[in-house]
A and B are shown apart, each in its own frame.
Chain A
């Protein structure tokens, strides 16, 4: 079920009413309702793949308990390996099987050994990259003795499958989300209405900004050989705003929906395009994934490589980004995208004596202090990120290089079509977020807000109006494919 579909807007009030007004006496029953609702939400898309979620849930539920009960380090490690094996095999088979077979065969072909192409017709189960990461972190944290497993199976299963964040995150940690399933939620009017505002802001980003950018970007990326270089540059810049509006819009809806049910998710985006450097960008973009990679991949690698000083740190950063690339998609263009981000850290790591991490979980602690001299840094960071998007958006690595070459070789005439309305949407988006940059989201009006209630209602009305007027053809969320 898509957040931006009519189905969801029938589903959501039904679950909401049952949750707060019918089944509100018993916590376990309430959790069970959320579990069933989550499975219905997922099954709407494809019932068959529910079995994978349930498998991953059962495995990590039992393994979590087993690790906790054992004091023998070898046994603990063995259980942990089993959890990793199951989750990574699910991910490996459904997401990477064809990619590895393809790469393997073309490697053989390139050294003169002819092999027939052999790939399977595998459908990628939506959300698999997200929930497998969530369950793996559960077992990893228990193994590190940072978390005590729950014996409440329904609570755990709901933690894994909770519908607001099941298909595209945020990848919640058990330490934050699981306890929320184990204690009674009270309806808080302020919190829930903030959720509604966040949903509205997310819908605006998705339906008005991202979905209107999509046809423009798609046509440029599919005809890049025929477009003037000015259009190619415009195409990737507009894509930067499309993907931000799409993914952060999705996240705003997810966090807002969770708030309606009394759950507090961690912040996933912290106005990333206002970053003054690449390491700051990664503290603000898809925070739940980058902090996951930071904790479970980068840190263990860096600890291993610590005796090689800065070179060791760089190697850990670079490997982390290559894997992050592969996480996003089974294609060499994604690996290249990750590698490029890794290379951007060379000046960060080697120029300063001390420097900053690739991501932290500190979220909203990263405040935006701003002075006018920061503008060049922000613009430079934005264009560095745009360069990587050529690889992220192109269908393949050779298309990406073709696109890049086109920017430098194709005639630089003035763009043949200028999408003025897209500029307007993007300006509204960015101006609002700049104004609200120290808040949780674009429409958060708390007691300290300077926006008067009358204007707030004008804004809500205009946004709803815009959503109905500028509705384009419904598009899936970009991150559903990962």
Chain B
């Protein structure tokens, strides 16, 4: 889990262009100013590219926080 979290953190820092971002499983879009709806799409694209996976639309629309995003990745990588 921690591995995923740190990989997510560097992806977030790169996409949102903010080196100060620190993620926890409970982080939501409300906690990070740059994380808005359009940047969210970029994050999804980068995460899919980075892990070589594809999410379904309903998975993406159902996420509530970073932890749930990581769960989706884990479920796909550790099948």
User: Which residues on A are within 8 Å of B, measured CB to CB?
Assistant: 73, 144-146, 294-295, 298-300, 302-304, 306-307, 309, 313, 349, 354-360, 362, 365
Known A145-B62, A303-B60; judge A357-B36 contact (CB<8 A). Answer: yes
Known A354-B15, A362-B30; judge A302-B61 contact (CB<8 A). Answer: no
Does B40 reach chain A (CB closer than 8 Å)?
Answer: yes
- Contact in complex: A303, B44 (CB < 8 Å): yes
Chain B residue with Cβ nearest A316: B41
Residue of B16, B37, B42 touching A299 (CB-CB under 8 A): B37
* Interface majority SS (helix, strand, loop, mixed), chain B: helix
Does B57 reach chain A (CB closer than 8 Å)?
Answer: yes
Does B64 reach chain A (CB closer than 8 Å)?
Answer: yes
Known A144-B62, A145-B62, A362-B30; judge A302-B37 contact (CB<8 A). Answer: yes
B30-60 interface with A by 8 A CB criterion: 30, 33-34, 36-42, 44-45, 57-58, 60
What B residues does A295 contact at CB under 8 A? 37
What A residues does B29 contact at CB under 8 A? 360
CA of A307 to CA of B41 in the docked complex: distance in angstroms? Answer: 10
Minimum CB–CB distance for B49 against chain A, Å: 11
Does B78 reach chain A (CB closer than 8 Å)?
Answer: no
CA of A298 to CA of B38 in the docked complex: distance in angstroms? Answer: 9
A-B CB contacts (within 8 Å), total count: 57
User: Which residues on B are within 8 Å of A, measured CB to CB?
Assistant: 15-17, 29-30, 33-34, 36-42, 44-45, 57-58, 60-62, 64
- Contact in complex: A357, B62 (CB < 8 Å): no
What B residues does A359 contact at CB under 8 A? 37
| Most chain A CB atoms below 10 A, which of B33, B38, B62, B64 | B38
Chain B residue with Cβ nearest A358: B37
- Contact in complex: A303, B57 (CB < 8 Å): yes
Minimum CB–CB distance for B72 against chain A, Å: 13
CA of A304 to CA of B40 in the docked complex: distance in angstroms? Answer: 13
What A residues does B34 contact at CB under 8 A? 354
Chain A residue with Cβ nearest B62: A144
What B residues does A303 contact at CB under 8 A? 41, 44, 57, 60-61
What A residues does B33 contact at CB under 8 A? 362, 365
Minimum CB–CB distance for B41 against chain A, Å: 5
The 7 closest A-B CB pairs, nearest first, are A357-B36, A357-B37, A357-B38, A302-B41, A303-B60, A303-B57, A360-B36
Known A354-B15, A354-B16, A354-B42; judge A144-B37 contact (CB<8 A). Answer: no
What B residues does A300 contact at CB under 8 A? 57, 61
Minimum CB–CB distance for A80 against chain B, Å: 11
What B residues does A304 contact at CB under 8 A? 57
- Contact in complex: A356, B38 (CB < 8 Å): yes
Known A302-B38, A306-B41, A313-B41; judge A354-B57 contact (CB<8 A). Answer: no
What A residues does B40 contact at CB under 8 A? 299, 357
Chain A residue with Cβ nearest B44: A306
Task: Show 23 residue pairs from A and B whose CB-CB distance is below 8 angstroms, ordered by the A residue.
Answer: A144-B61, A145-B62, A146-B64, A294-B37, A298-B37, A299-B40, A302-B38, A303-B41, A303-B57, A304-B57, A306-B44, A307-B45, A313-B41, A354-B16, A354-B17, A354-B34, A355-B38, A355-B39, A356-B39, A360-B29, A360-B36, A362-B33, A365-B33
